[in-house]
Chains A and B, each alone.
Chain A
């Protein structure tokens, strides 16, 4: 059936896979109309897709170092783009982003700009040069460029801190989705999620993660786009992305009609609103006035952009392409595949907001009597699990905009139900959310364990270890780190571990300038790099503790709050690195020649194929 090798047949293989997945969706739809229960359909969706990923993980097993660390450096451009997109879009992007826009409006969309604009920095400043370097991990570059174990160790520290902050949230998300779809307790769901993640990565390392991530991208993008287009057509906009101008303006009208009222904290507490639920108090499309609002928007976008360009689990995806040229192109494809989901999220938020607010639509609830709203089946279902809540503050028996509370995730998870789409779509959305959370968790756990096994164990502790031993250590670390993250998630400590945004701030504080200046400034020295990494990390963390609402909770300087502490960290990092570099002796001619070589896109990699 297939001529030639695996790589030549990739389009055929994934074409068949996509076709198979669509047939599976249709089959589920047939089963639903034949009367199979919603719960069984949810279980089948999640179980079937996870088993496919596990199968791909098993088929990609390997005993070679370069296959384990960098997928043998033979991942074609477009496929690496898809894998990066899955690696990048987390459970949070899939489940929470549309909800964030729903409640935050224009202000929240700084995340959209930040999480896409960062790829311009990746492509121009870093990816092609790191590929030319031929490293296995990000600290591998720092360690070789600056020389010595100290910079390597410091970079490892930042990598572990940033990635671990991120991964607990992902395992938490897999646990939430698994528990909901398979109807098991959350604590068990977390471990089911972990086993699924390890099945994808343990036997084949980067190679297995690459091919499962491509499969997961296909599932998650299908699961995101089908409901958007379906709902769009139901409201008479078959291609919502270009047709919602009137709807956005209509929302602005409705906002002024109902009024954007802020509730007081005391009132919310008194009404007993469950934690984590929000209500609409920000305008959907209006730009808030004032210089501070502008600075808040820009500073958030800057943190997310610079953080994107420093996150090791993303940078390491560009180590897997066959050439420098394909690494560069691959960044472009990555952003294209990410864009497909990101430019749909605001449309999903608009459509679902309109459905709840516009009195001309049958699905509207705002402005209706509370007794009537409480009798709607989906409101009852989601109230039962404390995801939505109604508080009649003014006691008039009519639901006002500020009296309707909802968890952000509900926008993606419940919208198909609200719009009256069949349950098969909700099952599909659950499978998509699972794919998004799993693919990111896989990339992160692998980034941490590869770095510890390569940079700490092999490069620092035991440089004489043979290949077999190195790969055993890598796999043991993978399991240990995954288990640790799952254990922390199962204790529900994530609320004190902080926001996903912190991972970006940690990474930009400690890694951005040491990486960029390593390529773009020959004069950067070892001492400078250590000062840059540690200075950024320590000042950023200290500032986080100073302003963090769960720590000292002091008033932020210039609006730089705990989501934006990377601004402080990265600035200190830049200054420390430049000053210390200029104070110390310039790098040896061998290092300077190495930097020259990195800047030439063709020819041999700096580090050998196996190192």
Chain B
């Protein structure tokens, strides 16, 4: 596999993992909202908490993690140039 192909393969996998986590925090939790709400966090009902803060915070962390890891993948394949040269 050429360098370019392995870079794209890893990039794709990384995208799928990120979207799987996203799917969990945006869809799966709220699919079971009623039972999730039986739990609690900091005294808040859990589904309410996830909708008000929890999932939002998870997305922020997820995107930072996504960007950092993608940068590592780029560096490993020699595509980590800081600026384009145009």
Contact = CB atoms under 8 A, between A and B. Distances in A.
Interface of A: 106, 109-110, 112-114, 116-117, 119-121, 123-125, 128, 134, 241-246, 248-249, 284-287, 289, 294, 297-298, 301-302, 305, 322-325, 328-329, 331-332, 335-336, 339, 342-343, 346-347, 596, 599-605, 608-609
Given A248-B43, A248-B45, A297-B30, A119 B82 contact: no
Contacts, number: 165
Interface in B67-84: 67, 70-71, 74, 78-84
A339 B67 contact: no
Contacts of B37: 285-287
B52 interface: yes
A117 B85 contact: no
B38 to A, nearest CB: 9
B42 A242 contact: yes
Contact of B60 (A246, A286, A339, A603): A339
B17 to A, nearest CB: 10
A325 B15 CA distance: 15
A602 B74 contact: yes
A604 B33 CA distance: 47
B47 A287 contact: yes
A513 to B, nearest CB: 15
A120 B27 contact: no
Contacts of A323: 81-84
Nearest to B33: A287
B70 A328 contact: yes
Q: Secondary structure at chain A's binding surface: helix, strand, loop or mixed?
A: helix
Interface of B: 4, 7-8, 11, 15, 18-19, 22, 25-27, 30-31, 33-34, 36-37, 40, 42-45, 47-48, 51-53, 55-57, 59-60, 62-64, 66-67, 70-71, 74, 78-86
A110 B50 CA distance: 11
A331 B4 contact: no
Contacts of A286: 37, 45
Contacts of B51: 106, 109-110, 112-113
Given A245-B43, A596-B4, A603-B81, A328 B59 contact: no
Contact of B47 (A106, A112, A284, A596): A106
Contact of B81 (A113, A339, A602, A605): A602
Contact of B59 (A116, A128, A246, A596): A116
Closest 8 CB pairs of A and B: A245-B43, A602-B81, A285-B48, A346-B52, A109-B51, A287-B33, A332-B63, A117-B26
Given A285-B48, A328-B66, A602-B84, 19 more contacts: A112-B51, A112-B56, A114-B26, A119-B59, A241-B53, A286-B45, A287-B37, A294-B30, A298-B31, A302-B27, A322-B83, A323-B83, A339-B56, A339-B59, A343-B52, A343-B57, A599-B11, A601-B70, A601-B80
B84 A603 contact: yes
Contacts of A241: 53
Given A117-B25, A323-B81, A323-B83, A285 B45 contact: yes
Contacts of B26: 113-114, 117, 120, 301, 305
B4 to A, nearest CB: 7
Contacts of B53: 241, 343, 346
